[in-house]
Amino acid sequence: MPDHEEYKKMLTDLIQKQMVVLGPNIALDKAKKIPGLSVNEEGGVTEITGDPQMILKGVANEYMALSGQIAQMTLNTLLEKYPMMKDLGAGVTPPSSQ
């Protein structure tokens, strides 16, 4: 099972990648909305309180709601980099097709 440091690294990677895709203001605003997650202005995760897997799912879902396929591709790339968190993908809700 991944520890808090692994979650912090993956969340930092995810947030920083979304800062490039969505712009820093939007990406940081979405990440900072997640209870239990503290993020600095560079997109680095400084603290996680609570269930880190739920926090990761919350952040991923926030980004997916904005940029669906791009966020999913970013998440898939990160899941390859952090294989111990592969079960995360099951809890991420893809955006509805309209």
**Nearest-angstrom CA–CA distance, 36 and 98:** 32
Q: Quick check: is 93 in a domain?
A: no
CA atoms within 13 A on the CB side of 20: 8
Q: Quick check: is 90 in a domain?
A: no
Q: Quick check: is 67 in a domain?
A: yes
Q: What is the DSSP letter of 88?
A: G
Q: Quick check: is 47 in a domain?
A: yes
Contact 64, 21 (CB under 8 A): no
Instruction: Give the pLDDT score at 44.
Output: 98
For residue 81, pLDDT over 70 is answered with yes
Contact 10, 75 (CB under 8 A): no
Mean per-residue pLDDT, 57-66? 88
Q: Angle of helix 4-22 relative to helix 52-81, nearest 10 degrees? A: 70
Instruction: Give the pLDDT score at 86.
Output: 64
Q: Quick check: is 60 in a domain?
A: yes
**Nearest-angstrom CA–CA distance, 56 and 91:** 10
More confident residue, 23 or 83: 23
pTM for the whole structure: 0.72
Instruction: Give the pLDDT score at 97.
Output: 43
Contact 45, 13 (CB under 8 A): no
What is the domain count for the chain?
1
Instruction: Give the pLDDT score at 93.
Output: 53
Question: What domain range includes position 77?
Answer: 4-84
Contact 74, 14 (CB under 8 A): yes
What would the pLDDT profile of 36-53 be if each residue is shown by its tens digit?
999 999 999 999 999 999
